[in-house]
Amino acid sequence: MLFNSVEFAIFLPIVFILYWFVFSKHLKAQNFLLLVVSYLFYGWWDWRFLSLIIFSSFVDYGVGIAMHNSSHKTRRKLLLWVSICVNLGFLGFFKYFNFFAESFAEAFTLMGASIDPFTLNIVLPVGISFYTFQTLSYSIDIYKGKLKPTTDIVAFFAFVSFFPQLVAGPIERATNLLPQFYRHRIFKYNDAVDGMRQILWGLFKKVVVADNCAEYANMIFNNYGDYSGSTLFLGGIFFAFQIYGDFSGYSDIAIGTSRLFGFRLMKNFAFPYFSRDIAEFWRRWHISLSTWFRDYLYIPLGGSKGGRNMRIRNTFIIFIVSGFWHGANWTFIVWGALNAIYFLPLLLFNKNRNNLGIVAEGKYLPSFREVWSMSITFGLTVIAWIFFRAANVGEALGYISEIFSLSLFSMPEVRPSNLLLLIAVFVLIEWLGREREYAIEQLLLSKPKLLRWSFYLILILFVFLFQGKQQTFIYFQF
């Protein structure tokens, strides 16, 4: 079920009414309702894949209790490996089986032998990359003694399948989200209003910004051989705003929807295109995934504490694995490796934590140095996004080579003035709200109600006007 669909517009009010007006006095009943509607939400896409999420939930629920009840280190480690193998086994089979089969065949072809790869007609279950990481972190935290397992099976299953963030994150930790299922939740008007405001902004980012950018990004990328370097770079910019509006818009809707039901999810985006270096960008982009890899892969590998070679190795591992997490294609691996190359100089010269604060905090305008730093970082990010968007590495290299030709200095053949103006207004609003949880959290709150509500109505009008250009959320494929 898509957030920007008629079905969800009907689904959400019904669940809200049942949750607060029918089951509000019974915590377990509320949790059970959330479990049922979450399975309905997920099963709306394909009910057959509910068996995967249910089985994964059973495994980690049982593993968590068994690990807690065992004092034998070897048995605890074996149980942890059960969780790892089940979760990553599902992920590997559905997402990477064909990739490895085809890559294996291609390797033999390069050596002069020809074999036909054995592939399967596999449908990738929506959200499998997200909920497998969520349940896996639960088992790892119990193994490390950071968390006690729950015996409330309904609360645990609801935590794994919580519908606002089930299919595209944020990837929540049990230490944050699971305890919220134990506490009695009271309806708070201000939280609900704030949640609706964030949902509105998320819908605007997705439906108006991302889907309009997608129209031109698709046209340029699909016919990149027909355009000049300037047009191709503009296409890269359109895709950069498409993927940001699409994914951060989903996160905003997920976080806002959770607020309607008395839950607080972690922040997943923190205005990443205002970053002054790549290290800051990765602290602000897809925060739930970046911190997951940091805590469960980078730090266990030694992090930045070892020698230079270890730091280089760990940096490449974390970025390449992150790229591979996004998809079974060499383009994602190259995208990850390229970001590692961007990041490496900052790490080696101990400058990766230079920009921890908010750019131009407390000011309306950034300094010239900040503008230059943000521009360079954004430009590097756009080049990396080309690998993310391209169908294959060869196409990405061809696309980039044309950008860095003399035609880069020509007038773009595609100049959608309305879209460029829309992006400029969007960037301005994001800039004004960059010190908040989301851009319009406090925007116009101190102004007259007529002005504030006029602004909200304009956003709503734009969402309805552009609803016809509906595009599937990009991260559904991951």
User: What is the residue extent of each domain of the chain?
Assistant: 6-187, 190-276+355-477
Catalytic residue ranges: 326
Tens of pLDDT, residues 255-277: 999 999 999 999 999 999 999 99
Show pLDDT as tens, one digit a residue, over the chain (478 residues): 788 888 999 999 999 999 999 998 899 999 999 999 999 999 888 888 899 999 999 999 999 999 998 888 899 999 999 999 999 998 888 887 766 666 655 555 555 555 655 555 667 778 888 899 999 999 999 999 999 999 999 999 999 999 999 888 799 999 999 999 999 999 999 999 999 999 999 999 999 999 999 999 999 999 999 999 999 999 999 999 999 999 999 999 999 999 999 999 999 999 999 999 999 999 999 999 999 999 999 999 887 787 888 999 999 999 999 998 888 889 999 999 999 999 999 998 999 999 999 999 999 999 999 999 999 999 999 999 999 999 999 999 999 999 999 989 999 898 898 999 999 999 999 999 999 999 999 988 888 889 999 999 999 999 988 876 666 677 666 5
The 3-class SS string of the chain reads: CCCCCHHHHHHHHHHHHHHHHHCCCCHHHHHHHHHHHHHHHHHHHHHHHHHHHHHHHHHHHHHHHHHHHCCCHHHHHHHHHHHHHHHHHHHHHHHHHHHHHHHHHHHHHHCCCCCCCCCCCCCCCCCHHHHHHHHHHHHHHHHCCCCCCCCCHHHHHHHHHCHHHCCCCCCCCHHHHHHHHCCCCCCCHHHHHHHHHHHHHHHHHHHHHHHHHHHHHHHHHHCHHHCCHHHHHHHHHHHHHHHHHHHHHHHHHHHHHHHHCCCCCCCCCCCHHHCCCHHHHHHHCCHHHHHHHHHHHHCCCCCCCCCHHHHHHHHHHHHHHHHHHHCCCHHHHHHHHHHHHHHHHHHHCCCCCCCCCCCCCCCCCCCHHHHHHHHHHHHHHHHHHHHHHCCCHHHHHHHHHHHCCHHHHCCCCCCCHHHHHHHHHHHHHHHHCCCCCCCCCCCCCCCCHHHHHHHHHHHHHHHHHCHHHCCCCHHHHC
Q: Is the pTM of this model over 0.85?
A: yes
